[in-house]
Amino acid sequence: MSTRGLSQNQRRLLSFLKDCERLGREFSLGDIAANTGWTESTVRTYETKGYWSSIIFKMPNGNYVARGVLNLSESNFHQEITQTQTIREFGHHLNSRIAKALLSKSKDNMILALELYNRPSLQNRLDGFTILFCTAWEQLLKAQIAERDGDSEIYRTVRPGRRPETISLQDCLNLIFPDDGNPVRRNIEQVKDYRDKATHLLMPEAQGLVSQVFQAGVINYEKHFCDISGIAFLPENSTGLMTLVGRQQEPDIVKLRSLYGEQVAGDILNLVQTLQRRIAEIDDDRFAVVVEHRLVFARRGEGTDITLAHGDGASQDAVIIRDPIPVERGFPYSYGSLWPEIYRRLIEENNVEFLATRLRLKGDAPIFNRYDLTAILAKEGWQNSINTYHYHSQILVGHRYSQEAVDYIVDKIVRDPDYVSRAINTWKRA
């Protein structure tokens, strides 16, 4: 490589760093500025962006040392520091070397978890995903702790005659997310619980529901990883994080018994029902990503996710369905839009003090969310049939609810102070 691009300031930097490495001398960014001709702000910019991350290293006291400079030629030095270099050392801005190593291992483990999950031919992919997911999170959080608090904080007290042991994933969660109600923490703890106690219950019949927790966990990881590393977890043009899984019916207990036996079948069903309640109770996309979709046949598809549109190129063998039932006219509310409409009506038609005697409270404010609605729907039993309040089609629109359902629930809450609490208690005992 030609050295014509090596400026006078860069040559001074090379000379200064060689002297420092030869003498074993520490230096500051101000020392670099004084010996090269750059301003201190320019030096700080170069260091922050990682242009020198492979040759200078920050010490715990805030000073720097040079490593590996003595044997560099001007050509090689130019290659190391040039601003046109497109690839920077991973985690260049981190001071802790163990944090850098943990960050790299964490990324590899989460990518492996996704690759494993997206291989549907593997029967144990749910089990493998939980193990790799937890390992990736543990390494990521330890990297954050090591960088924030020092390398020693990720180790337990060394016992005589024992090799050093690092802290557990639960210890990491306590240090990074001290609020045990944090949805990100609760998401990780949910997957951790499956890894520790219930991997044998992660059968294909439970995948539709647990995948909602997995997907939220991967999105949380991507955001947390970017906050620590400063770079995206996956390239922008990469494919989706996980295989999308549509809503599935609750596992049939008879089928489960025939496949896995009485005990395991009951445990799987209990796992699914418990998770359903938790998702409704927490009601936060950071805990579980609930995928809702609609499929309709229409000339105009506003407000739909998938539209089977009329077109001149349709097959001559197409099946014609005459006089279709206008489902969404009579049942305009999905599960996801039903509870906001009920809550809106309650707030608009009643004062806060009145609602506080009938709804759960968050602080001093009365709330009504998915958790309350799920309990009420279980109590009323509407989903067991097509009726005035509820319509269900597995092929087209899933569960839909009528205006009568809104009116009924609002009226029951207003008239009966204990309606919601009784529904929740009954649902919990189910």
pLDDT tens per residue, range 215-259: 999 989 988 988 887 677 775 545 555 554 544 556 667 777 777
Give me the residues paired with residue 56 across strands: 66
Report pTM.
Answer: 0.56
410 token code pair: 């609002």
Per-residue tokens: 287: 């805990």
| Cβ-contact 281, 371 below 8 angstroms | yes
Residue 148 and residue 31: Cα distance in Å, rounded?
26
How confident is residue 291, by pLDDT bands cut at 50, 70 and 90? low
Closest CA to 94 of 57, 140, 42: 57
Tell me how far apart the alpha carbons of residues 401 and 340 are, in angstroms, rounded to a whole number. 13
Query: How large a percentage of the chain has pLDDT more than 70?
Result: 81
pLDDT confidence of 190, banded at 50, 70, 90?
A: very high
Tally Cβ neighbours within 10 Å of residue 119.
11
∠ CA 272-274-280, nearest 5°, is 100
Q: Is the pLDDT of residue 204 over 70?
A: yes
Residue 362 pairs with which residues in a beta bridge?
365
pLDDT-derived band at 109, boundaries 50, 70, 90: very high
Mean pLDDT value of segment 255-270: 79
**pLDDT value of position 95:** 76
Exposure class string for 190-209: b at 16+ Cβ within 10 A, else e: bbbebbeebeebbbebbbbb
| Position with higher pLDDT, 298 vs 31 | 31
Please indicate whether residue 405 or residue 92 has the higher confidence score (pLDDT): 405
Q: What is the pLDDT of residue 250?
A: 60
Using a 10 angstrom Cβ sphere, with 0-12 exposed, 13-18 middle and 19 or more buried, the burial of residue 313 is exposed
Angle between helices 253-260 and 262-282 (to 10 degrees): 130
pLDDT tier at 322 (50, 70, 90 boundaries)? very low
Entry field: residues in the chain: 430
CA distances from 340 to 100, 329, 347, 367, 396 (A): 45, 19, 10, 10, 23
> Which of 19-33, 85-99, 182-196, 324-338 has the least mean pLDDT?
85-99
Q: Is the pLDDT of residue 8 over 90?
A: no
Q: Which residue has the higher pLDDT, 76 or 24?
A: 24
Give 27's DSSP letter.
Answer: B
pLDDT confidence of residue 393: 65
Q: Which pLDDT does position 228 carry in this prediction?
A: 85
Mark out the alpha helices in 150-291 (DSSP H runs). Answer: 169-176, 183-193, 207-229, 253-260, 262-282
- How would residue 392 be classed by pLDDT, with cut points 50, 70 and 90? confident
For residue 16, give every residue at least 6 positions away whose Cβ sits within 8 Å of its Cβ, in sequence order, or none.
Answer: 27, 31, 32, 35, 36
Q: Which tops the pLDDT comparison, 352 or 329?
A: 352
pLDDT at 328: 55
How many other C-beta atoms lie within 10 A of the C-beta of residue 249? 8
63-74: average pLDDT: 87
pLDDT, greater one: 268 or 24 = 24
CA distance 306 to 217: 27
Lowest mean pLDDT segment, chosen from 22-36, 77-91, 221-235: 77-91
| pLDDT higher than 50, residue 324 | no
> Which carries the bigger pLDDT value, residue 355 or residue 230?
355
- pLDDT for 24 beyond 70: yes
pLDDT at 84 over 50: no
Q: What percent of the chain has pLDDT over 90?
A: 30
Predicted local confidence at residue 323, as pLDDT: 45
- The first and second tokens of residue 146, run together, are 């090591």
